[in-house]
A and B are shown apart, each in its own frame.
Chain A
Amino acid sequence: MDVLFDNLDVFANGFYTTIQLFVVSGIGSLILGTALAMLRVSPVPVFRSAGTLYVTIVRNTPLTLVFLFFAFAYPRLDMVDLSFFMTACVALTVYTSAFICEVVRSGINTVPVGQAEAARALGLGFGQVLGTIVLPQAFRSVLPPMMSMLIALLKNTTIAAGFSVAEAGQIRSILSERGENQLLTLIFVAVGFILLVMILTSVQRTLEKRWSVAR
């Protein structure tokens, strides 16, 4: 326990950064992933192709490679300068949103066609049909895989430690310089992640319960 309490500041700072990375790139991935899914079901062929192209190129490209691109290649393009933290958020968002897109799209496919037809027959536009009728039902049906993606994202944030972001993945190397027991350090880091995952799982359970009553 001494390892934890003697270095509480290091643990707290590390996990605080991890949570920030997770929240920023989680929100970013949900927005970009949903937008990509909307492109992929759009009636406009160009939009559909654009969405498909993104997923084809990005999906399952090793995350480290995506990080390397944004850390070393992207600055050469002389576009907006990104801090280390933002670079990590962008890499995580680009990587995760390809998966989120496919999860959302499979959710859209579970919504009966009649739901969208009824909405169109009432005079709702394409965006309204998708936003108020189809997507809310799509999200409900893909909650478990969606949460798996977010948990994967949470754990993937540890890649950022290799790219100058002092998140929880870096706690071990900091504490090894202080001469702490590395096995114990890693166990406490793991416990921290397990706690965060448990929070996400309970969010999932709460939402599932609420939405199952609603149907």
Chain B
Amino acid sequence: MTAAEGSLPTPPMIRMAGVDKYFGQLHVLRDINIEVPSGQVVVVLGPSGSGKSTLCRAINRLEPINSGTIEVDGKPLPAEGKALAGLRADVGMVFQQFNLFSHKTIVDNVTLAPVKVRKQSAAEAKKAAMALLDRVGIANQAEKYPAQLSGGQQQRAAIARALAMQPKVMLFDEPTSALDPEMVQEVLDTMAGLAKDGMTMLVVTHEMGFARRAAHRVVFMADGEIVEDSTPNEFFTAPKSDRAKDFLGKILTH
């Protein structure tokens, strides 16, 4: 599907080959093959239940797969254990429900993993955390607890928390789906800024505007399969499959 990227000299940041995943009888990922080269922003679209979140969560093994291979930066995903924790440290993840640690302040949320996993000193981690919080525009909220922040601020804090590990790639699992409409833009702007800085990103979202504006590539999924894999322009103006046309028809008429 991505022959052009496959010929690059460096290994792709993410490679999934022949990936299958079942939830009991339900076949949620069907023979998934995808490569995301370094620096690319890939947006994954698709109707609910199409398997796009599962695909995202499989990449850092929050969802183990039944067969196939997944490689991150040329290395196959290890089994649960120290090696997997090491790999996850290099893969940033942002969740739909933010999942900020509710018993810790914003700045402690950001410094926790650098201190515990990367063994940075507290002072060093705090300095980096404040710079990141400033970058996502919530440095003045650093000493508050997650519940005291708006949804948009919490999600930006979650992005800062992931960035603090200096990840090679960022996964976004419907980052704006739990937000009030007026807060969606601030999170998307933060993500677009990241994309502009050259971060490798895989973004599962329903935000068509973001896909048009910031994505290099759009992957459309339905029923656990990748149905289309093209540029945003191609996908939105001339979708090839009926399922994509149907999906776009439903979304764009509203």
Residue A114 at the chain B interface, CB threshold 8 Å: yes
Chain A residues whose CB sits within 8 angstroms of the CB of B210 once the complex forms: none
Set B89, B101, B165: member contacting A115, Cβ < 8 A: B101
Chain A residues whose CB sits within 8 angstroms of the CB of B90 once the complex forms: 123
Interface centre among A123, A125, A214 (most CB of B within 10 A): A123
Knowing A128-B116, A140-B103, A214-B103 touch, does A121 contact B97 (C-beta < 8 A)? no
- Cα A215 to Cα B99 in complex, Å, equals 14
A130-138, A142-150, A174-182: which one contacts chain B?
A: A130-138
The count of A-to-B residue pairs whose CB atoms sit within 8 angstroms is 69
Q: Min CB distance, A105 to chain B, in Å?
A: 18
Contacts A117-B99, A121-B60, A121-B62 known; 13 new A-B pairs at CB < 8 A: A115-B99, A118-B93, A122-B88, A122-B162, A123-B85, A123-B86, A124-B117, A125-B85, A132-B112, A133-B101, A214-B145, A215-B145, A215-B147
Chain A residues whose CB sits within 8 angstroms of the CB of B177 once the complex forms: none
Q: Min CB distance, A132 to chain B, in Å?
A: 7
Residue B65 at the chain A interface, CB threshold 8 Å: no
User: In the complex, which residues 43-90 of chain A have their Cβ closer than 8 Å to any Cβ of chain B?
Assistant: 43
Residue A4 at the chain B interface, CB threshold 8 Å: no
Knowing A115-B102, A215-B103 touch, does A122 contact B97 (C-beta < 8 A)? no
Map CB proximity to A onto B92-130 as digits: 1 under 8 Å, 0 otherwise.
110101011111000000001100110000000000000
- Cα A166 to Cα B86 in complex, Å, equals 54
7 closest A-B pairs by beta carbon, nearest first, are: A123-B89, A118-B99, A122-B113, A114-B99, A121-B93, A123-B117, A123-B88
Q: Which residue of A lies closest to B165 (CB)?
A: A122
Q: Min CB distance, A115 to chain B, in Å?
A: 6
Residue B136 at the chain A interface, CB threshold 8 Å: no
A sample of 6 cross-chain residue pairs with beta-carbon separation below 8 angstroms, ordered by A number, consists of: A115-B102, A118-B95, A123-B89, A124-B85, A124-B116, A140-B103
- Cα A121 to Cα B95 in complex, Å, equals 10
Map CB proximity to A onto B63-76 as digits: 1 under 8 Å, 0 otherwise.
00000000000000
- Cα A128 to Cα B147 in complex, Å, equals 23
Knowing A117-B62, A132-B116, A215-B147 touch, does A122 contact B89 (C-beta < 8 A)? yes
Residue B160 at the chain A interface, CB threshold 8 Å: no
Residue B21 at the chain A interface, CB threshold 8 Å: no
Residue A19 at the chain B interface, CB threshold 8 Å: no
Q: Min CB distance, A71 to chain B, in Å?
A: 42
Map CB proximity to A onto B39-63 as digits: 1 under 8 Å, 0 otherwise.
0000000000000000000001010
Residue B15 at the chain A interface, CB threshold 8 Å: no
Knowing A122-B88, A123-B86, A137-B103 touch, does A117 contact B117 (C-beta < 8 A)? no
Residue A119 at the chain B interface, CB threshold 8 Å: yes
Chain B residues whose CB sits within 8 angstroms of the CB of A120 once the complex forms: 62, 85, 88
Map CB proximity to A onto B163-199 as digits: 1 under 8 Å, 0 otherwise.
0010000000000000000000000000000000000
- Cα A119 to Cα B92 in complex, Å, equals 11
Q: Which residue of B lies closest to A119 (CB)?
A: B101
Chain A residues whose CB sits within 8 angstroms of the CB of B97 once the complex forms: 112, 114
Chain A residues whose CB sits within 8 angstroms of the CB of B162 once the complex forms: 121-122
Q: Which residue of B lies closest to A121 (CB)?
A: B93
Interface centre among B92, B99, B145, B162 (most CB of A within 10 A): B99
Q: Min CB distance, A198 to chain B, in Å?
A: 28
Knowing A214-B145, A215-B145 touch, does A122 contact B99 (C-beta < 8 A)? no
Chain B residues whose CB sits within 8 angstroms of the CB of A137 once the complex forms: 102-103
Chain B residues whose CB sits within 8 angstroms of the CB of A128 once the complex forms: 116-117
Residue B156 at the chain A interface, CB threshold 8 Å: no
Interface centre among B87, B88, B158 (most CB of A within 10 A): B88
Interface centre among A121, A133, A214 (most CB of B within 10 A): A121
Knowing A117-B62, A214-B145, A215-B147 touch, does A124 contact B113 (C-beta < 8 A)? yes
Q: Min CB distance, B98 to chain A, in Å?
A: 8
- Cα A124 to Cα B97 in complex, Å, equals 19
Set A122, A133, A136: member contacting B161, Cβ < 8 A: A122
Residue B28 at the chain A interface, CB threshold 8 Å: no
Q: Min CB distance, A210 to chain B, in Å?
A: 11
User: In the complex, which residues 98-127 of chain A have their Cβ closer than 8 Å to any Cβ of chain B?
Assistant: 112, 114-115, 117-125
- Cα A199 to Cα B27 in complex, Å, equals 57
